[in-house]
Chains A and B, each alone.
Chain A
Amino acid sequence: MNHRRTTVVPETTAQRGGYFGRALVIDVTDGSTRVLPLPQQVLRDYIGGAGLGVWLMHHLAPAGVDPLGPAAPLAFVFSPLVGTPLTTSAKFAVVAKSPLTGFLTDALASSHFAIAGKLTGYDAIVVTGRAEVPSVLFVDGDTVTLENAAAEWGLSAADAEASVRERCGRSWRVASIGRAGERLVRFATVSHDGRHAGRGGLGAVLGSKNIKAVGVRAATKVAPADPSGVLAAAKELRAKSFGAATEKFRELGTLANLLAFNAISTLPTRNFQTATFEGVENLAAEELAELRGVTRSSCASCTIGCEHIYRRKGGKKVRMEYQNVVAVGPMCGVSDPDDVLEASARCDELGLDTISAGGTIAWAMECAERELIDAPWLRFGDGAAVLRALDEIVEGSTDLGRLLATGSKQAAQVVGGGSGDFAPHVKGLEMPGYEPRTLHAMALGLAVNARGADHNRTGAYEADLAGDLDRLDGGRAHALAAIETEDRAAVMDSLILCNFLRGVFDDHFAEWAQLLRLVTGWDVDAAELRATAERIVLAKRAFNLREGWTPADDWLPARLLENELTLPSGRVAGLTPARLRTMIDAYYDARGLDREGRPPVTS
Chain B
Amino acid sequence: MVLAGGRSSRMGAPKAALEWHGSTLLRHVVGIVARGQQGRVVVVRAPGQLLPALPDTVEVLEDSREGLGPMQGIAVGLKAVAVDADLAFVCSTDLPFLHTAFVRRVLRAFEDDQPGAEVVLPLAHGFPQPLAAGYRTALAAKVDKLVEAERLKPSLLFEDCDVLRLDEAALLSDHALAAVDPDLDSVVNVNDADDYAAARARPAPEVTVQCFGVVAARTAARTRKPQLVLAATVQAAADAVGLTWDRHVLAAINGDQTGRDAKQPLVRGDSVAFLSAAAGG
Interface residues of A (CB under 8 A from B): 244-249, 251-252, 254-257, 259-261, 263-265, 285-286, 321-323, 433, 455, 459, 461-462, 464-468, 470-473, 499-500, 502-503, 567-572
- 19 inter-chain pairs at a CB distance below 8 angstroms, sorted by A residue, are A244-B246, A248-B276, A248-B278, A249-B278, A251-B214, A255-B281, A256-B276, A257-B279, A263-B255, A264-B252, A433-B281, A459-B280, A466-B250, A466-B258, A466-B259, A467-B257, A499-B280, A569-B256, A572-B38
Nearest-neighbor residue (CB-CB) of B248 within chain A: A244
Residues of B within 8 A of A467 (CB): 250, 257-261
Whether B212 pairs with A259 at a CB distance below 8 angstroms is: yes
Residue among B212, B252, B258, B261 with max Cβ neighbours from chain A (10 Å): B212
Nearest CB of chain B from residue A305's CB, rounded to whole Å: 14
Name the one of A245, A246, A570 contacting B104, with C-beta atoms under 8 angstroms.
Answer: A570
Q: Does B277 contact A (CB under 8 A)?
A: yes
Q: Does B52 contact A (CB under 8 A)?
A: no
Whether B280 pairs with A249 at a CB distance below 8 angstroms is: yes
Whether A465 pairs with B279 at a CB distance below 8 angstroms is: yes
Q: Does B170 contact A (CB under 8 A)?
A: no
Whether B276 pairs with A247 at a CB distance below 8 angstroms is: yes
Nearest CB of chain B from residue A579's CB, rounded to whole Å: 13
Residue among B210, B253, B280 with max Cβ neighbours from chain A (10 Å): B280
Whether A323 pairs with B248 at a CB distance below 8 angstroms is: no
CA distance A260 to B217 in the complex (A): 14
CA distance A260 to B278 in the complex (A): 11
CA distance A363 to B104 in the complex (A): 36
Whether B210 pairs with A263 at a CB distance below 8 angstroms is: yes
Whether B254 pairs with A462 at a CB distance below 8 angstroms is: no
Residues of B within 8 A of A468 (CB): 259
Interface size on B, residues (CB 8 A): 34
Q: Does B120 contact A (CB under 8 A)?
A: no
Whether B212 pairs with A500 at a CB distance below 8 angstroms is: no
Whether A264 pairs with B273 at a CB distance below 8 angstroms is: yes
Whether B276 pairs with A264 at a CB distance below 8 angstroms is: no
Nearest-neighbor residue (CB-CB) of A252 within chain B: B213
Name the one of B104, B248, B259 contacting A247, with C-beta atoms under 8 angstroms.
Answer: B248
CA distance A252 to B253 in the complex (A): 24
Residues of B within 8 A of A286 (CB): 213, 216, 224
Residues of B within 8 A of A433 (CB): 281
Residues of A within 8 A of B257 (CB): 467, 470-472
Residues of A within 8 A of B246 (CB): 244
Whether B281 pairs with A264 at a CB distance below 8 angstroms is: no
Q: Does B1 contact A (CB under 8 A)?
A: no
Whether A265 pairs with B255 at a CB distance below 8 angstroms is: yes
Residues of B within 8 A of A245 (CB): 248, 278
CA distance A256 to B210 in the complex (A): 14
Residues of B within 8 A of A503 (CB): 248, 277-278
Whether A263 pairs with B259 at a CB distance below 8 angstroms is: no
Residues of A within 8 A of B224 (CB): 259, 286
Q: Does B271 contact A (CB under 8 A)?
A: yes
CA distance A265 to B254 in the complex (A): 10
Residues of A within 8 A of B259 (CB): 465-468
Residues of A within 8 A of B216 (CB): 286
Whether B275 pairs with A263 at a CB distance below 8 angstroms is: yes
Nearest-neighbor residue (CB-CB) of B217 within chain A: A251
Q: A245-B248, A472-B38 are in contact. List 19 more A-B contacts (CB 8 A).
A: A255-B281, A259-B224, A260-B213, A260-B273, A263-B273, A264-B252, A264-B275, A286-B216, A323-B281, A462-B280, A465-B277, A466-B258, A466-B259, A467-B259, A472-B257, A502-B278, A568-B256, A568-B271, A569-B253
Tell me the interface secondary structure of chain A in the complex.
Answer: helix
Residues of B within 8 A of A465 (CB): 250, 258-259, 277, 279
Nearest CB of chain B from residue A299's CB, rounded to whole Å: 15
Residues of B within 8 A of A567 (CB): 254-256
CA distance A500 to B277 in the complex (A): 12
CA distance A569 to B266 in the complex (A): 12
Whether A259 pairs with B255 at a CB distance below 8 angstroms is: no
Nearest CB of chain B from residue A240's CB, rounded to whole Å: 12
CA distance A567 to B100 in the complex (A): 14
Contact with A along B173-211 (1 / 0, CB 8 A): 000100000000000000000000000000000000010
Contact with A along B229-271 (1 / 0, CB 8 A): 0000000000000000010101011111111110000000001
CA distance A259 to B279 in the complex (A): 12
Nearest CB of chain A from residue B63's CB, rounded to whole Å: 27
Nearest-neighbor residue (CB-CB) of A442 within chain B: B279
CA distance A424 to B254 in the complex (A): 27
Whether A263 pairs with B280 at a CB distance below 8 angstroms is: no
Residues of B within 8 A of A261 (CB): 279
- Given contacts A245-B278, A263-B273, A466-B277, whether A571 and B256 have CB atoms under 8 Å apart is yes
Nearest-neighbor residue (CB-CB) of A467 within chain B: B259
Nearest-neighbor residue (CB-CB) of B176 within chain A: A570
Residues of A within 8 A of B250 (CB): 465-467
Residues of A within 8 A of B210 (CB): 263
Nearest-neighbor residue (CB-CB) of B108 within chain A: A570
CA distance A263 to B209 in the complex (A): 12
- Given contacts A251-B217, A569-B35, whether A500 and B279 have CB atoms under 8 Å apart is no
Nearest-neighbor residue (CB-CB) of B212 within chain A: A260
Residues of A within 8 A of B104 (CB): 570
Residues of B within 8 A of A464 (CB): 258
Nearest-neighbor residue (CB-CB) of B101 within chain A: A570
Residues of A within 8 A of B254 (CB): 567-570
Nearest CB of chain B from residue A339's CB, rounded to whole Å: 20
Nearest CB of chain B from residue A461's CB, rounded to whole Å: 5
Residue among B253, B260, B261, B276 with max Cβ neighbours from chain A (10 Å): B276
Nearest CB of chain B from residue A565's CB, rounded to whole Å: 11
Residues of B within 8 A of A259 (CB): 212-213, 224
Nearest CB of chain A from residue B243's CB, rounded to whole Å: 13
Whether A248 pairs with B273 at a CB distance below 8 angstroms is: no
Nearest-neighbor residue (CB-CB) of B254 within chain A: A569
CA distance A264 to B259 in the complex (A): 12
CA distance A207 to B190 in the complex (A): 75
Name the one of B214, B255, B271, B280 contacting A500, with C-beta atoms under 8 angstroms.
Answer: B280
Nearest-neighbor residue (CB-CB) of B35 within chain A: A569
CA distance A255 to B214 in the complex (A): 11
Whether B275 pairs with A260 at a CB distance below 8 angstroms is: yes
Nearest CB of chain A from residue B150's CB, rounded to whole Å: 39
Whether A502 pairs with B276 at a CB distance below 8 angstroms is: no
CA distance A570 to B281 in the complex (A): 27
Nearest CB of chain A from residue B215's CB, rounded to whole Å: 8
Nearest CB of chain B from residue A440's CB, rounded to whole Å: 12
CA distance A111 to B218 in the complex (A): 32
Residue among A255, A256, A260, A461 with max Cβ neighbours from chain B (10 Å): A260
Name the one of A256, A264, A571 contacting B214, with C-beta atoms under 8 angstroms.
Answer: A256
Nearest-neighbor residue (CB-CB) of B270 within chain A: A569
Q: Which 4 A-B pairs have the closest CB atoms?
A: A467-B259, A322-B281, A254-B281, A569-B254
